[in-house]
Amino acid sequence: MTDDNFYDIGIADVHQWVLELPAPASGGELEDPWMFGDGRRLPDPGPLMSRPFREGPRRSFSVANSGRTPIADEQVANVFRKLAPDDVQAFPIKVEGESRNLYIINATKRFRCVDEKNSKEVHVYPSDGVAPERAGTYRAIHGLRINPARAEGARVFRIQGYLSALIVAVEIKHALEEVGNLGVFFTRVTGPQSEP
């Protein structure tokens, strides 16, 4: 395994709590509750809150109900702050019934870096389909492979046109696994498909 290995973070199939979309602590809704998955630097959203949509074990790292909003405890947030300080923002969020300090981890960069040739299957929205506003973006990718050389040295990032993927470098994966109690899993997105 080389230092050029990168991994996609997904929601693990383990019993865990599921959190609702983040909202302003003062009430109401965020204008764009999906913004934490856009792969861009954001202005400070101010105090945020959430509550469990479904109860379960409270993990050190999980994903809010939007599927694109990583929620981390202090230890996990510190991994991101230490190993990828230029690639992430950590926004405090209060979760109903939870005393720990929790943070939304926002990846601030995105790159057009899909290695279509080496990915198993790549499906793109057509310009004449039912979602013309998504034309040219990825509908689905199986066996995702990326070209890390296009990530300009970033250690955490989103993929332009395929924002559901949250990519981290191998040293971040290892550091997160050392924290433990994760509600996420890692899928390698670099190297040959045949490797385990």
In tens, the pLDDT along 141-171 reads 999 999 999 999 999 999 999 988 999 999 9
Phi, psi dihedrals of residue 98, rounded to the nearest 5° = -120, 125
User: Is 196 part of a structural domain of the chain?
Assistant: no
Q: Considering the domain boundaries, does residue 86 fall inside one?
A: yes
Query: Does the residue 158 lie in any domain?
Result: yes
Q: Is residue 194 part of a domain?
A: no
pTM of the model: 0.91
* 124 inside domain: no
What domain range is 158 assigned to?
6-112+142-188
Count up the domains in the chain and report the number.
Answer: 1
- Give me the tens of pLDDT residue by residue for the chain, a chain 196 residues long: 345 899 999 888 899 988 988 999 999 998 888 899 999 999 999 999 999 988 999 999 998 765 679 999 999 999 999 999 999 999 999 999 999 999 999 999 999 999 999 999 999 888 887 777 777 788 889 999 999 999 999 999 999 999 889 999 999 999 999 999 999 999 999 988 865 4
